[in-house]
Amino acid sequence: MFQNENELYEQFKKGLNKAEEHLDSEYATIRAGRANPKILDRVLVNYYGSMTPLNQMANITVPDPRCLLINVWDMSAFKDVLKAINEANLGLTPSDDGKSIRLTFPVPTEERRKELVKQAKTLLEEAKVSMRNERREAMDQIKEMKKENILTEDSQKVAEKEIQKILDNATKNLDDLFASKEKEIMSV
């Protein structure tokens, strides 16, 4: 139970920030035809019996806008890294020269770009649903605070309006994130 509405606002903002950060990290993995090392963040390699993130065992560089170059530090793990990239279903075929792995990003077709925008829109809606759930929980807390006589009826109404205002600002941030991702995906 919160002692005052400011504590509630802070907790509510933290929940909204988590939803926004999650959406941002999901957007980072959507490839828009440009080489982005973040697409490899979820690739785990079986390295001496433990699943190790690829970015902790290799140097990942972007030599040109449509290519990623992966230099594995421990050459004994080279085949395991290659296998993990293939199994990650990135939609990319790695090519290797025995020393490094190259991932080339094809230019997405118009149809593929529209699919990616649709995928980004779905992620946006999921984030908004998460934020609305946070709002519902905050509103329940406000009602509980009113019941416990921590808030008066007037301050309850003010708190509910403030929660809605915070949610509206956070939703605008999500829409801005989507707009910039859509622009990135649709630009050739």
pLDDT tens, the chain, 188 aa long: 677 888 889 999 999 999 999 998 888 777 666 777 888 888 899 888 889 998 889 999 988 888 899 999 999 989 999 989 888 877 778 888 888 999 888 877 888 888 889 999 999 999 999 999 999 999 999 999 989 888 888 999 999 999 999 999 999 999 999 999 999 888 76
Domain 37-104: which topology?
Gyrase A; domain 2 (3.30.1360)
Residue 47 has phi, psi (to 5 degrees) of -115, 105
pLDDT for 107 equals 79
Question: Do 29 and 175 touch, CB atoms closer than 8 A?
Answer: no
pTM for the model: 0.72
Encoded tokens for 88: 């990650």
Q: For helices 5-29 and 110-147, what crossing angle results, to 10°? A: 170
Question: Do 65 and 107 touch, CB atoms closer than 8 A?
Answer: no
Where do the domains of the chain lie? 5-29+109-186, 37-104
Question: Do 32 and 185 touch, CB atoms closer than 8 A?
Answer: yes
CA 136 to chain centre: 23
Gap between the Cα atoms of 188 and 185, Å rounded: 8
CA 173 to chain centre: 14
3-state secondary structure of 23: helix
pLDDT for 188 equals 61
* CA dihedral of residues 164, 168, 171, 172 (deg, nearest 10): -170
pLDDT for 175 equals 95
pLDDT for 23 equals 92
Residues with Cβ within 8 Å of residue 154, at least 6 apart in sequence: none
Gap between the Cα atoms of 142 and 4, Å rounded: 9
Q: Which CATH architecture has domain 5-29+109-186?
A: Orthogonal Bundle (1.10)
